[in-house]
Amino acid sequence: MAMFSEEFKNAAVQKYLSRGSRSVTDICTELGISDCSLYNWSQIRGKPLGMNNTKRRPQDWDAVEKMTAVIEFEKLDPGKQGEFLRKQGLHSDHIVAWKKSMQAGLESPIDKKASRKELSLLKAENKELSRDLYKKDKALAAVTALLVLKKKADLLWGTGENE
């Protein structure tokens, strides 16, 4: 097993991060290392300074955390916003999307009485449809049973056409 110096590992990670359109396999072949090693080194050395190594994804944040992050982000100067994003492990796209969803929630008025009335109408319609479906299932089962009995009777006694 080859032992590589820290300088070599840092240079390899830097080359990997700034590879452009080159594939990882090309870089690994050029350096004479496995892609597994390069990925492991990039996990350790590849994060910019000050960025949290959080295991939580931004999609796992709850609504209160998202709102707090958007508010804090908007309070900061444009020069400090990048640092905030790195510390939180976020991208600016997350902040933009969260801000849009909060604005959409504020702009759509919710009429509780209307929504309750609509919900009760939907429940009544669902109940009526369920009853109708139950009746039709029972009728279908009865017709199926009659058909099966008729076929059995025809097999046992014949169809009566020959008589």
Taking only the tens place, the pLDDT of each residue in 6-52 is 888 888 888 887 777 788 888 899 889 998 988 888 888 766 544 54
- Give the three-state DSSP class for 110: coil
Considering only CA atoms, which of 113, 110, 78 is closest in space to residue 92? 78
CA atoms within 13 A on the CB side of 70: 18
- Rounded-to-integer distance, Cα 79 and Cα 83, Å: 8
pLDDT of residue 108: 67
Q: How far is CA 77 from the centre of its chain?
A: 32
* Residue 89, token pair as written in the block: 């492990």
- Contact (CB, 8 A) for 70 and 99: yes
Average pLDDT over residues 134-156: 95
Residues 116, 122, 125: CA angle, nearest 5 degrees: 145
- Rounded-to-integer distance, Cα 52 and Cα 90, Å: 10
Confidence of residue 161 (pLDDT cuts 50, 70, 90): low
Question: In the chain, pLDDT over 90 holds for what percent of residues?
Answer: 34
Helix, strand, coil percent values for the chain (each to nearest 5) = 75, 0, 25
